[in-house]
Structure 1
Amino acid sequence: MKQNRILSTIVIAQFGCTSIWFASNAVIDQLITAYSFPDNAMSVLTSAVQLGFIAGTLSYALLNLTDKYSPSTVFLISALIGASANYAITWVTPSLLYFSSLRFLVGFFLAGIYPVGMKIAADYSQKGLGKSLGYLIGALVIGTALPHLLRGSFNDLSWQVVFVSTSALCATGGILIRIFVPDGPHRRPAQKIKLNQTFLIFRDKKFTSAALGYFGHMWELYTFWALVPAIISFSVSSETSISPSILSFGVIGIGSVACIVAGRLSQHIEPSRIAYANLLGSGLCALGAGLLVIIGYPPLIYGFLLVWGWLVIADSPMFSTLVANSAPAHLKGSALTLVNCIGYAITIISLLCIGYLYRSFGLYFALPALAIGPVLSWILHQQDNHNKTPVIKHEKITTNR
């Protein structure tokens, strides 16, 4: 079927393009050793990408680029520039300043890849969007986990090869989209650019509710992924000969399967039910994680992490579906991009706050704080449902006697 071919192409392109996102994480040890980068180089380079993504999504959303112009063309241009910035790291003078600047550019143009890929999928899938986004975000998860697999499997791999290969994947993904995925039949282009128009969509209560759920999910997601290697090194790796990086890949990578399963379930179950069930489950995992670390039984901890790794991302395609379905058709791309922008800004705040707790008090206190976002979003959702409950008025019946 044509739609299945389109979806497969988008998924392959999304994986190839998002492989540049955490390329530096796969080779950070080599960079620190070869060029005497400081120990915090990984956090600096990762933050540069995230900040670039935030700046990019804000720019794309304010200018309504994906609604004003062809999403496939925006995707291609963003992929080619992002791939070039990623590749340029192999020929600039090795310094943390230059690398950080180029990683910022990579993040900026990823704003024209990840949310735009969701926009393209939405233009092809008015029905069954949850399934499409499940596969799409599943591809992103594998791309996120890939550096851990590379680090655990190819210790002698040159860092230049990693950047060159991921750049090639990114450029190829952009070309695939432009050639094989024309603008979808449900696209409604914006007539003109209005800088304040995108923010006005928050007046819609249904859209705001979906966005708030996504924001609570983002408070937990990336900080959990960042802490997975630390949790495994502290509690699991001493009891097994398997590389901590391979174990980390398992915990993060299982989320890809979770996204696909959630997407397929959304064809039979309301996406909001799936989203908030997983959100609540991951929040409860966060609350109980500190106690589990204290217990210190490695097989139990790793099994728990696999469950958490599943729940923490399975709600993502569902929240993106809710956001897309509640946004005006002519602003769907900008709405997805703006919500991504705010969500990733929240990840920076979360990383800083939870990172401080981790350095100051240890995992026992840091991990439960990850529940703040999911629990608050779940409470707000429950209140919203309560307010929507219709009030049945009982009329007094009188009879003439």
Structure 2
Amino acid sequence: MRPIEADSLPRGGESVAPGTDSGRQGAKVPRRVLPTLVLSQFCGTSLWFAANAVMPDLQRDWGLPATAAGSLSSAVQLGFVCGTLVFALLMLADRLRPTWLFCGCSLLGALANAGIVLLDGAWWPLLALRFTVGFLLAGIYPVGMRIAAGWYREGLGAALGVLIGALVLGTALPHGVRALSGGELGGGAALPWQALLLGVSALAALGGLATLLLVPPNPDAPSGAAIRLRGLAATWRDARLRASVFGYFGHMWELYTLYVLLPLILATRLAGTAVSAGAFWAIAAGAVGCVAGGLLARRFGSARIAAFQLGASGACALAAPLLLGAPLPVFLAWLLLWGMTAAGDSPQFSALTARNAPRAAMGSVLTLVNCVGFAITVFSIELFTRLAGVASLASVLPWLAAGPALGLLMLRPLLRSAPAPSGPQAG
């Protein structure tokens, strides 16, 4: 199947707000679809960094080494890479009903995460369970995007801005719960780490059931597609699709490595659960970047917004040697800006990729792109966590800007062809 022509879908202003019945051509979009997907994505992706949020407790109770956070993060990312590769090659997101796939992976992921409380310090089973969670997240994150992209062919940048903003909040959630239990965000008795993990699992299960029960099948979506690897090959053949894909790869070099390093960066200035509170706010700021970027994409286009945020996050990385020792308010503002822009371009890269992918293989293309992107994060996380153990953060963090720099270089074809900014049109 030939890729969708670039001119067949809006590239500049996006004329229809997400969540309205006119959000796409064809069948009307039930108003509950986007809120349900947002809630479910938030709940399901809270599994991602659940173990990292309780890492100080695991290190204390189980005697885990200082490098455990990087190893467990890499296990999740590697599981996600394997999961997305399997899902993409089998084209599961396009051959099966996406809501069933999303729900099944959410329930199984919740069980794998909850199983950690039974391990009693066993290291290899812990790594295996985190790998399993990552594998099953392949049926949550990209499949949720596939569901949204199927309903919202117009207004996609704004819809994905809200959806991926929920993912970012879900990623931040375990840090926030830990900070709350320690009194940094509002007070309260300390929450046992077992309760936090079980609570996150319950949320993930509820999110999967909500998607299954409240998001109806899309009557216009292709179904039962055969496995056609030619559709996946469009990620390289089509110049516009290739530009957004490689821009996304540059973004991924930085994003999750920043998330893993945030507690280490904050620990240079804060202590105790204040570190968890700072990590929560810095990661959660990315949700603001996602939503704001989605709204601005309606006026300026997804390519311009992605490029601006990619450049801003790269500048934050380069500024690390100056700002690590800045006054505390400036230091915290820097991390908030970095968290906001490092994540804020992700929805626009996904929107650009979804618009230019072959429609019958859109879910599998998104999944494959996620697969390669997260493979990059495995290498980046391992590299930077090891470098941070032998060199100063001031000398290590600026190298995160290499990804945004490459992403901006690859994004140039989309920027050259982007239309002039225009005001939002009526839906």
Structures share fold, TM-score greater than 0.5: yes
Structure 1 residue 42, shift from structure 2 partner: 2.1
Find the partner of 2:276 among 231, 245, 270: 245
Is 1:28 aligned to 2:55, yes or no? yes
CA deviation map 1:285-330 (0-9, x unaligned): 211222222x532222211222122111111100010011110100
Find the partner of 1:289 among 302, 317, 320: 320
CA deviation map 1:6-39 (0-9, x unaligned): 1000011111111112111222222222222233
Structure 1 residue 168, shift from structure 2 partner: 1.5
Q: Percent identity?
A: 42
Find the partner of 1:179 among 192, 208, 213: 213
Cα distance in 2, alignment partners of residues 9 and 85 from structure 1 = 23
Deviates more, 1:64-73 or 1:42-51: 42-51
Provide the residue aligned with 1:100 in structure 2.
Answer: 127
Structure 1 residue 383, shift from structure 2 partner: 6.3
Structure 1 residue 213, shift from structure 2 partner: 0.7
Q: How does 1:189-200 map to 2 (within 5 A)?
A: 189=223, 191-194=225-228, 197-200=231-234
Provide the residue aligned with 1:50 in structure 2.
Answer: 77
Provide the residue aligned with 1:258 in structure 2.
Answer: 289
Structure 1 residue 40, shift from structure 2 partner: 2.3
Q: When the two structures are superposed, what TM-score results if normalisation uses the length of structure 2?
A: 0.85
Q: How does 1:102-181 map to 2 (within 5 A)?
A: 102-155=129-182, 156-181=190-215
Cα distance in 1, alignment partners of residues 270 and 121 from structure 2 = 33
Deviates more, 1:133-142 or 1:155-164: 155-164
Cα distance in 1, alignment partners of residues 159 and 338 from structure 2 = 23
Q: Is the 8 A contact 1:9 1:176 kept in 2?
A: yes
Cα distance in 2, alignment partners of residues 35 and 359 from structure 1 = 21
CA deviation map 1:333-390 (0-9, x unaligned): 001111111111111111222233322321111111011011112123336756x69x
Q: Is the 8 A contact 1:128 1:266 kept in 2?
A: no
Is 1:40 aligned to 2:55, yes or no? no
Q: Is the 8 A contact 1:27 1:159 kept in 2?
A: yes
Which structure's relative contact order is higher, taking Cα pairs within 8 Å and 6+ residues apart?
Answer: 2
Is 1:339 aligned to 2:369, yes or no? yes
Cα distance in 1, alignment partners of residues 344 and 326 from structure 2 = 27
Unaligned runs of 5+ in 1: 390-401
Is 1:367 aligned to 2:397, yes or no? yes
Q: Is the 8 A contact 1:63 1:195 kept in 2?
A: no
Letter in 2 for 1:371: A
Provide the residue aligned with 1:320 in structure 2.
Answer: 350
Q: Is the 8 A contact 1:141 1:255 kept in 2?
A: yes
Deviates more, 1:67-76 or 1:19-28: 19-28
Deviates more, 1:216-225 or 1:377-386: 377-386
Instruction: Give the 3-state SS of the residue equivalent to 1:90 in structure 2.
Output: helix
Q: 1:382 to 1:144 in 2, by over 3 A?
A: same
CA deviation map 1:187-225 (0-9, x unaligned): 223531235642344211111111011001111111112
Letter in 1 for 2:289: A
Provide the residue aligned with 1:392 in structure 2.
Answer: none
Q: Is the 8 A contact 1:217 1:373 kept in 2?
A: yes
Q: Is the 8 A contact 1:123 1:183 kept in 2?
A: no
Letter in 2 for 1:327: A
CA deviation map 1:113-165 (0-9, x unaligned): 00000000011101001111111111111111122212222143122212222
Q: 1:196 to 1:96 in 2, by over 3 A?
A: farther
Q: Is the 8 A contact 1:64 1:334 kept in 2?
A: yes
How well do the aligned residues superpose, as a CA RMSD in angstroms?
2.0
Q: 1:57 to 1:312 in 2, by over 3 A?
A: same
Decide which structure has greater helix share.
Answer: 1
Provide the residue aligned with 1:14 in structure 2.
Answer: 41
Unaligned runs of 5+ in 2: 1-19, 21-28, 183-189, 419-427
Letter in 2 for 1:207: L
Q: How does 1:345-384 map to 2 (within 5 A)?
A: 345-382=375-412
Whose radius of gyration is greater, 1 or 2? 1
